[in-house]
Structure 1
Amino acid sequence: MSHTLARGFDRDTDIIPGGAEGRVQIVWYVDYACPHTRRMRDIIRRSPERFGGQNASVALRFILPDDDSSGSELAARAAFAAGRQGRFWDMHEALFRAPPTYTPMRVMRIAQRLGLDMARFRADLDSEAAREKLAADQAALGEARGLHMPMIFIDGRYYEGGWDEQSLIEAIEKPLGVRIALASEDFFHWAASAGLVLILATLAALLVANLGGHDWYEGFRETAFGLSFGGAEFSLSLEYWINDGLMALFFLLVGIEIKREIVFGELSTRDRAILPVLGALGGMVVPALVYMAFNAGTDTAHGWGVPMATDIAFTLGIMALLGDRVPTSLKVFVSALAIADDLGAILVIAIFYGEGFHMEAFVLAMAVFALMLGLAVGRVYSRMPYLLLGVALWYYVHEAGLHATLAGVLTAAAIPSRRPADAKAVAAQAAAIVDGEPDATQVGDRAVRRLQNAVSRLREPGFHLQQALESWSNFLILPLFAFFNTGILVIGSSFSPLAPESLGVMLGLLIGKPLGIVGIVFIATKLGIARLSSEISWMQMIGAGFLAGVGFTMSIFISSAAFSGAELESVKLAVLLASAGAAVTGSLLLVLAGGRAQ
């Protein structure tokens, strides 16, 4: 996520030693006692010289550490006071050359060596203007306060690149590759980006299917792709490869997230887990009952699992877009609820929506899974063995008649967890590795591998796998799934909203979801089983319940396993309509509730 300043480059109040006409505007927050700031000092000092006054301008501001035992505030006021006599840059350099512990005596000696008017210097050092300058610099940070030092902002964006001259030069020059990387970072870290790509993929599928490309679309979906070796062959249609193959990677990521929350996160203790788990349970059972109220005893009764699911990406994306209208505690609750909901949906898919059952393949699948668990017990933390065995597990789960995506969840469960290493110990190890190199400017291959091993210990193995696959899942796998599963023929279709399966799905998502979630949370709080955060009003809870009715990806996934033909098309359209209605209703309620709270 990129961090920006509450107040950007300011020609009127900032200290700009080299002129303010540069094309690139750099804001550098200085703590004279900070070793990291001192490390970046020479590079920042050379920037105006490297690019010239017409290309880069540097504004200096002061940041005060929480622990000011080294006299950082005194040094900042000294630089400000020297600036009142036109000697800011001289004092700035002198403070950096001095040992990083500042006392009144040391500061006065520096001022005397610079030949400053000492009476005026003392007055400016303790002036109200100096205090106002320091306070204004702190306020200008806004939400960016608390970022790691050194704190440099280039054109208002926090610099997260390397601490070397070439990296900083590229960040300032912004060649094409850097501009593309920054734009991609902004988009990928935008809370609604994954949801937007899903919507675009869905609209593209609807347009193709309804503007003359339906036959091509269906033919392309049914195109067979396979692998053959000797006389053996394994072939599936493109739709199946996406729904059963690529989506297994999506469920692998879901499984990693569920496991993390159970081991370390919001589901790790009873007190934290009880309310979202109960909410998820109500949000699954009530929609299924609503569906069965219209479909019990009919051929469509097996679709009861469709309205049970919540699309976590859409739900949390909408809440993020609503900003501070949604309290943080409600976002945490809905996130944990959606994760518990995903776990329930996975179990439902695995148990009720397989295709027959074959014992021999199932035994082989369990043998592969047992081998993966053996590796985990043996503390094999490398991810590659689990991924290779996961492919074999996927094949045997598919052949056993269970839904193949179950293999992704089982693989996630097998990947070992461990407490992250102490960050300070890792930093000390990294420094020792670099210090041990003969040439500190050229780190050898072996040292690079040791550094990578040290840094990887900051998080558990599943986290690194999630980091590697998450963007692929959000921006390729899920959009492909949406495109190849939502090309519904709307024009001239026989869709009837009053058909039992369509009505059950729509009412299950629109009515059953909020009723189940809010109802069970209300009962649990009244009985004293759990406690609702004081930040959350009941209107906000109802709004969140409606947002949980955005089934989309997961509901379409279950409908593809439960239905076929015209019924499948009708159920998918019902899911899309209900999800849109739930998103709009939930958003409006949260906006109204947020307005009242403010």
Structure 2
Amino acid sequence: MSKIWDFVEEYSILLIAGALTALFWANTSPESYHHLVHFELFHGGPIGHLHDDGHGHVSRSFTLHFLVNDLLMAFFFAVAGKEVWEAVALKNGSLRGKKALTPLIATAGGMIGPVTIYLLGAFAVGKFAILANGWAIPTATDIAFSYLIGRIVFGAGHPAVGFLLLLAIADDAVGLVILAIFYPQGELAPEWLLVSIAAAVLVYLLFNKLPRRMDRGKQDRPNSTWVRKKLSWWPYLIAGAVSWFAFHKAGIHPALGLLPIIPAMPHADVDYGIFAAEEVHQNDLLNVSEHSLKRPVEFILFGFGLMNAGVEFSSVGAATTMVLAGLLIGKPLGIWLMGSFAAKTLKLGLPEGMKQSDLFVLGCVAAIGFTVSLFVASVAFPAGAVQDAAKMGALLSFGAAGMSIVAGILFKSKQGADTKTAAGPETGLEPAE
């Protein structure tokens, strides 16, 4: 777990610093802040946001916002995607087998609950048509911050912390699919995805499978060693650039563009768990590449906070309420209901030492959306009042931390970690005596 703690301490501190800087700047000098965000680095190139001059001429504008959200954030999603890939694809992956079924079903509840509350709320206030496209904003769970609060609420040794990590990474995996399918960034041109697939297949065959095939029967593995030492991750970076451009041209958010390259990279056959500390000792190219991205991603997240969290406090509106309702009400209820259904009705059970009431507390912790919620808000709505109001809801979801601590005290969740109470037929959400 130490790796996750380092992840929280380092990545989150810079992310929070960027977000707080943006909030202060946007509320003291909004004009200069928005000038920075939309500052144009160059115009008319092959990549960038589409820009219509009002006279029928469409070109692309490469702004600081595009640089951070569309280009650099691809490395952040690559790190998250790597953990998802290992958890799903490797034989002993964390999201494989019966052990992952209850967290996965609870994840479904953590998606369905927020969407239902958000859409019903938007309909109830008479703004369904305006707000409907933001339905995915409250489905997100911020892995780093949720883990931090989870440790405070449950204690480091509580099995609910591992359950939370499984749920959060599955949540992010579904979130990546939602971004790709439901939030296109322009006119869809899916034929370009063939270019991305071709780049992934080609780099896998030439720089992964072929050297290993040539090394059959050779203990010193000369070809694989040469490729590893001389070429390192460069072929995959080039293939990633091609894949990123293909996503951009396909109309799918290019921040997801590096994901097809991850399975092509040489990787260990063992998954030690999500952000496990043991991965530090893995010398396969996939893990080494993740380690080398650590420092750059810290600063990328600072830039993301700076570019996206700058909303004025006067921006609070209906979208703020709906996002918060989805996260603070829909998440806990959805996770508790579906998790209980999996554990009791389907008899899949819970990890030893975890009570059914812990599912509700865990749902409160998972209600911290922040990073991914901000990202989805930035693509769900065009720049303006509605987007700012939705972003404010994502920022205010930090309130789930306080709600989680109170719920943890009421249901004596931390006591469960100390006593290691075996999972049993506990029912309902009655606080422990």
Tell me the TM-score range normalised by the shorter chain. Answer: 0.7 to 0.9
Q: Does 1:535 align with 2:353?
A: yes
Q: 2 CA distance for matches of 1:345 and 1:368?
A: 24
Give the drift of 1:331: 1.2
For structure 1, list consecutive stretches of 5 or more residues without a partner in the other structure: 3-184, 421-454
Query: What secondary structure sits across from 2:135 in the alignment?
Result: helix
Q: Does 1:574 align with 2:393?
A: yes
Give the drift of 1:266: 4.9
Query: What secondary structure sits across from 1:298 in the alignment?
Result: helix
Q: Is the 8 A contact 1:550 1:582 kept in 2?
A: yes
- 2:71 corresponds in structure 1 to 245
Give the drift of 1:287: 0.8
Give the 3 Å change call, closer, same or farther, for CA 456–276 of structure 1 in structure 2: closer
Q: Is the 8 A contact 2:184 2:252 kept in 1?
A: yes
- 2:237 corresponds in structure 1 to 387
Q: 2 CA distance for matches of 1:229 and 1:494?
A: 33
Q: Does 1:236 align with 2:62?
A: yes
Q: Is the 8 A contact 1:327 1:536 kept in 2?
A: no
Counterpart of 1:218 (choices 25, 28, 34) is 34
Give the drift of 1:537: 2.1
Q: Does 1:372 align with 2:203?
A: yes
Residues 275-323 of structure 1: CA deviation (Å, up to 9, x unaligned): 111111111122112111123551321111101110001111222345x
- 2:188 corresponds in structure 1 to 357
Q: Is the 8 A contact 1:326 1:590 kept in 2?
A: no
Larger mean Cα displacement after TM superposition, 364-373 or 582-591: 364-373
- 1:288 corresponds in structure 2 to 115
Q: 1 CA distance for matches of 2:191 and 2:87?
A: 34
Give the drift of 1:191: 4.4
Q: Does 1:272 align with 2:102?
A: no
Give the drift of 1:488: 0.6
Q: Does 1:254 align with 2:80?
A: yes
Q: How does 1:181-200 map to 2 (within 5 A)?
A: 189=6, 191-200=8-17
Q: Is the 8 A contact 1:287 1:308 kept in 2?
A: yes
Q: Is the 8 A contact 1:326 1:594 kept in 2?
A: no
Query: What secondary structure sits across from 2:62 in the alignment?
Result: strand
Counterpart of 1:484 (choices 286, 307, 327) is 307
Q: Does 1:563 align with 2:381?
A: yes
Query: What secondary structure sits across from 1:236 in the alignment?
Result: strand
Query: What TM-score, normalized by structure 2, do the two folds share?
Result: 0.78
Q: Report which structure shows greater RCO (CA 8 Å, sep ≥6).
A: 2
Structure showing greater Rg: 1
Q: 2 CA distance for matches of 1:485 and 1:229?
A: 24
- 1:77 corresponds in structure 2 to none
Query: What secondary structure sits across from 1:225 in the alignment?
Result: strand
Query: What secondary structure sits across from 2:373 in the alignment?
Result: helix
Q: Does 1:405 align with 2:221?
A: no
Give the drift of 1:357: 0.8
Q: 1 CA distance for matches of 2:267 and 2:10?
A: 30
Q: Is the 8 A contact 1:303 1:559 kept in 2?
A: yes
1:461 counterpart letter in structure 2? L
Q: Does 1:320 align with 2:147?
A: no
Q: 1 CA distance for matches of 2:352 and 2:196?
A: 47
- 1:495 corresponds in structure 2 to 316
Residues 318-372 of structure 1: CA deviation (Å, up to 9, x unaligned): 22345x6354321111111111111000000000111221245333333323323
1:276 counterpart letter in structure 2? P
Give the drift of 1:389: 0.9
Q: Which has the higher helix share?
A: 2
Q: 2 CA distance for matches of 1:194 and 1:543?
A: 25
Q: How does 1:298-337 map to 2 (within 5 A)?
A: 298-322=129-153, 325=155, 327-337=157-167
Q: 2 CA distance for matches of 1:398 and 1:273?
A: 34
Counterpart of 2:334 (choices 509, 516, 519) is 516
Give the drift of 1:235: 4.7
Give the 3 Å change call, closer, same or farther, for CA 268–519 of structure 1 in structure 2: closer
Give the drift of 1:222: 0.8
Query: What TM-score, normalized by structure 1, do the two folds share?
Result: 0.57
Give the 3 Å change call, closer, same or farther, for CA 279–266 of structure 1 in structure 2: farther
Q: 2 CA distance for matches of 1:278 and 1:337?
A: 9
- 2:423 corresponds in structure 1 to none
Give the 3 Å change call, closer, same or farther, for CA 472–318 of structure 1 in structure 2: farther
1:352 counterpart letter in structure 2? F
Q: 2 CA distance for matches of 1:265 and 1:204?
A: 42
Q: 2 CA distance for matches of 1:208 and 1:253?
A: 29
Q: Is the 8 A contact 2:87 2:96 kept in 1?
A: no
Give the drift of 1:271: 1.4
Q: 1 CA distance for matches of 2:263 and 2:113?
A: 28
Give the drift of 1:189: 2.9
- 1:41 corresponds in structure 2 to none
Give the drift of 1:234: 6.9
Q: 2 CA distance for matches of 1:458 and 1:411?
A: 19
- 1:471 corresponds in structure 2 to 295
1:495 counterpart letter in structure 2? V
Residues 133-154 of structure 1: CA deviation (Å, up to 9, x unaligned): xxxxxxxxxxxxxxxxxxxxxx
May I ask how many residue pairs the two structures share in their alignment? 371
Give the 3 Å change call, closer, same or farther, for CA 377–222 of structure 1 in structure 2: same
Query: What secondary structure sits across from 2:130 in the alignment?
Result: coil
Q: Is the 8 A contact 2:192 2:250 kept in 1?
A: yes
Give the 3 Å change call, closer, same or farther, for CA 325–368 of structure 1 in structure 2: closer
Query: What secondary structure sits across from 1:417 in the alignment?
Result: coil
Give the drift of 1:575: 1.4
Counterpart of 2:372 (choices 533, 546, 554) is 554
2:266 counterpart letter in structure 1? P
Q: 2 CA distance for matches of 1:456 and 1:588?
A: 36
Residues 381-438 of structure 1: CA deviation (Å, up to 9, x unaligned): 6422111110111112111111102212222232233336xxxxxxxxxxxxxxxxxx
Residues 561-595 of structure 1: CA deviation (Å, up to 9, x unaligned): 00121100000011111x12211111232345245
Give the 3 Å change call, closer, same or farther, for CA 575–547 of structure 1 in structure 2: same
Q: 2 CA distance for matches of 1:268 and 1:402?
A: 26
Give the 3 Å change call, closer, same or farther, for CA 335–210 of structure 1 in structure 2: same
Residues 230-252 of structure 1: CA deviation (Å, up to 9, x unaligned): 9xx97511001100111100011
Q: How does 1:434-473 map to 2 (within 5 A)?
A: 458-473=282-297
2:103 counterpart letter in structure 1? P
1:216 counterpart letter in structure 2? S
Q: 2 CA distance for matches of 1:302 and 1:563?
A: 7
Q: 2 CA distance for matches of 1:457 and 1:538?
A: 36
- 1:160 corresponds in structure 2 to none
Give the 3 Å change call, closer, same or farther, for CA 299–467 of structure 1 in structure 2: same
- 1:444 corresponds in structure 2 to none
